[in-house]
Every structure is written in structure tokens, then in C-alpha cells.
Amino acid sequence: MKLSQQVLSLKGRIRVPGDKSISHRSIMFGALANGVTTVHDILRGEDVLSTMQAFRDLGVEIEDDGDIVTIHGVGFGGLKAPKNKLDMGNSGTSIRLISGVLAGQDFEVEMFGDDSLSKRPMDRVTIPLKQMGVEVSGQTDRDLPPLKLKGSKNLKPIHYQLPVASAQVKSALIFAALQAEGESVIIEKDLTRNHTEDMIAQFGGQIAVDGKEIRISGGQTFTAQTVRVPGDISSAAFWLVAGLVVPNAEVILENVGINETRTGILDVIEAMGGQLSYADVDQVAKSATLTVKTSDLHSTEISGDIIPRLIDELPIIALLATQAEGETIIRDAEELKVKETDRIQVVADALNSMGADITPTEDGMVIRGKTPLHGAIVNTFGDHRIGMMAAIASLLVEEGEVVLERAEAINTSYPDFFAHMEALVNG
């Protein structure tokens, strides 16, 4: 796919797709609640559709009229053994969280995914689940998919300290703990996105959070709700960066989720001198309208506790840093190596091929700016965030053209991405 060259301005107002993390969880909690849950503004990307189909295969009736998704909940006790293997596509969220959901079921399930998912380690989930009494196995000593899992109706509670900062692992264990006999204690390495905890409360459950310590009792039931999904800040991040680095730009993003565990990129933008403003702030829905304008940016250091709050945004933050004066350092982000791709190496290779000056490290990268960009051939390797990063970079290219291979990967999280890009370029 050939992408446009340097543009002279970027103007407009758009609404990004619904938050992917909340969309996944709305389906899960709707399925596990008693009654009928309706979900508005859900993301219909391929990852979320994988979760939706998995629960249909587990016996949950889910209707989608293109506007509202209606889920006829069956509770934890109403899930049924699927007739076929569960296809998780490219979705790490689906396979990890659903492993936790299935931990308390006494039937056998096999879950598989595409080539990319098949390279992602599941041992971080399977090790604690085995301690709770789940029979689960994958490929190699890292438990790569496909996974075979058989849960237990006599699930043991767990006291577990997470070795990695991962909302997916935490959420999988919370789903398992909800079905265990007694109280489980989960201790995070670093604070990560808390959508699962928020949604437990929304659906009428009980959970106690004290800093990094989470206490949760088994045997709970949930009540169906109406869920309105805010815009995904991970999708908004690409337009936030575009609005900061493209000349003569002003981009307005409506109804973006600003959950405090996800807003690390907003902190980085402010630290780098970006012009960013908020309007229509909704403290209950944790959403706001964000506006960015072309800015003179300077380097910063990104490390420590902020990393889990922007882990998915680091590819586009790397592009942002190429357009900032000075040396930006990203540390403590080794989790990038086990995403859809090794995002440390793939991001560095992609942007360096376009003229950037990036040195990958064991846990991050060193980015020297400000650098002009030129055309190149960029392969997404099936990673949607690499594709969108390269597409935004193409707006800055001064000579040559960007050829994006496997651009279809962007459909994983943002099916309307290129339509929105065209609207802003022509705005």
C-alpha cells in the first residue's frame, strides 16, 4: 500500500473507535452477568470480534445491529463447552483473559491464534492458573498457543505477586479468583490499566484495591448493565502525535477515554512541550475532548512507573521523539518485546529506514531528534500499531514515498483509520 507524502496541514474533528480494552471487557462481563447487557460505541476491530465470537462459541447469545451490541448473560455457571476450538486471532487480550474466565469451568477447551499470537508467551498466565488447580498446557516451556485448558469447579484462591506489569495477566487472575473458593490476593509489580476492576464495580461486584494490592472473593454474581465505551486513547494517540508534528495542524478528538491508568502519553506530550488542551471532561465516564496543535517539541526521558500507562503508545511516541529536539530515552519497556512483534526492534528498524536516528536497547530505545524523514518500504509484520505509526510518519516524508506492507493489520483495532486520515488531510 502506497501512502501519501508530506502534507502542508492537518485539520479537523474526529471520533476515534471505542476503547479496545473496555470493548473486550464489556463483552466478557455482559456474558458473565445475569440479564441483558447493552453496549454502545463498541470497537468492531478484529481483536474484539474474536472475543465476541469466542463467547458465542461458549453458548452466549450476542446480537449486533451495527449500533448496539446486546448480550444475553448466562453467568459463570451458564457457559457451555464449545463444539470447536476457540480462534483468538491476533488477540492477546482475548486468549489471556478468557483463560481466566475458563479457569472455573470443568470442560476442556483448546484456544489458538494466528502466527503472531502463536509466538506470544502464555506462561505468565498459565503458571498462576496451574497453582489454582487448572490443567493447562501450551507449546514449549513458555506455553505458546495453542493452549489446552481444563478448569475446575473447586478452584483454589491464590496469593500471587505478578512478576511483570501486565493488565492482561492481572485481569485473567481476577476472572479466575471470582470463581475460586475464598479470597485471593493479587499484588501488581506496577500499577496497570484498571478497566477490569472498574467494571467489576459497575456490574455490582466487590473488589478491594489498596495501591498495588487487590483482594477479591469468589462466588460473586454480576447484574447486567448499559455500557457506553469511550474512545480508545491508544487509537487517539496516533492523531495526537500527528497534530503535534505536522505543520499547520489542529486536531480535535471527541470523547477520548482518560482513565488515569492510560494517560501516560498525555503526560509525555506535556513534558515535551506539546500544545494539548481538554474540554467536555466527564469525570464519571472518564472521557474528554482533546485538542492538539503543531508544537515545538523537546526531548524527555520515559521510564519507571509511567511505562505501564503508555506501553501500547510507545511506537507512536517513538515517532514523536524523532521530531523533538534532543535525545529522548525510553527505559523499563522490555514488555514491548512480547507484543504482536518485538516492538523495540521493529519500531527502530522501521523509523531508521525512513531516516530516523534510533538505537534499540534491551529495555527501550534512544531516539535522537530532530530528524527529517524520507520514503521507505515498511512491513507491519502483522502489528496494527506499527502500521499506524508508519502511516503517520508518511505525513512527514519530504522525498520518496512510504510503501506499507501488510497494511491490513490496522483493521485489528482501527478499521476506519485511513478514512479518518483522509478527512484530516483534506480538512
Residues serving a catalytic function are 312
DSSP-derived letter for residue 343 is: H
Q: Which three cell numbers stand for residue 57?
A: 462459541
Q: What one-letter code names the amino acid at 345? A: Q
Q: What one-letter code names the amino acid at 26? A: S
Tell me if 339 is assigned to a ligand binding site.
Answer: yes
Rounded (10°) angle between helices 92-102 and 167-177: 20
Distance CA(295)–CA(65), nearest Å, equals: 42
Tell me if 91 is assigned to a ligand binding site.
Answer: no
Cis peptide bond prior to 370, omega within 30° of 0: yes
Tell me if 92 is assigned to a ligand binding site.
Answer: yes
Tell me if 21 is assigned to a ligand binding site.
Answer: yes
Tell me if 96 is assigned to a ligand binding site.
Answer: no
Vertex 337 angle, CA 385 and 370, to 5°: 60
User: Is residue 406 helix, strand or coil?
Assistant: coil
Which residues fall within 8 angstroms of residue 384, CB to CB, at 6 or more apart?
Answer: 340, 409, 410, 411, 412, 413, 414
Tell me if 357 is assigned to a ligand binding site.
Answer: no
Rounded (10°) angle between helices 20-32 and 167-177: 10
Distance CA(101)–CA(155), nearest Å, equals: 12
Tell me if 385 is assigned to a ligand binding site.
Answer: yes
Tabulate helix, strand, coil % of the chain (nearest 5): 35, 30, 35
Tell me if 182 is assigned to a ligand binding site.
Answer: no
Distance CA(38)–CA(223), nearest Å, equals: 12
Tell me if 25 is assigned to a ligand binding site.
Answer: yes
Closest by Cα among 116, 115, 167 to 311: 167
Distance CA(203)–CA(149), nearest Å, equals: 27
| Residue 66 region by backbone torsions, left for phi larger than 0, else alpha for psi between -120 and 50, else beta | left
Tell me if 142 is assigned to a ligand binding site.
Answer: no
Longest C-alpha distance within the chain, in Å? 63
Binding-site members for 3-phosphoshikimate are: 20-21, 25, 166, 168, 312, 339
Binding-site members are: 20-21, 25, 92, 120, 166, 168, 312, 339, 343, 385
Binding-site members for phosphoenolpyruvate are: 20, 92, 120, 168, 343, 385
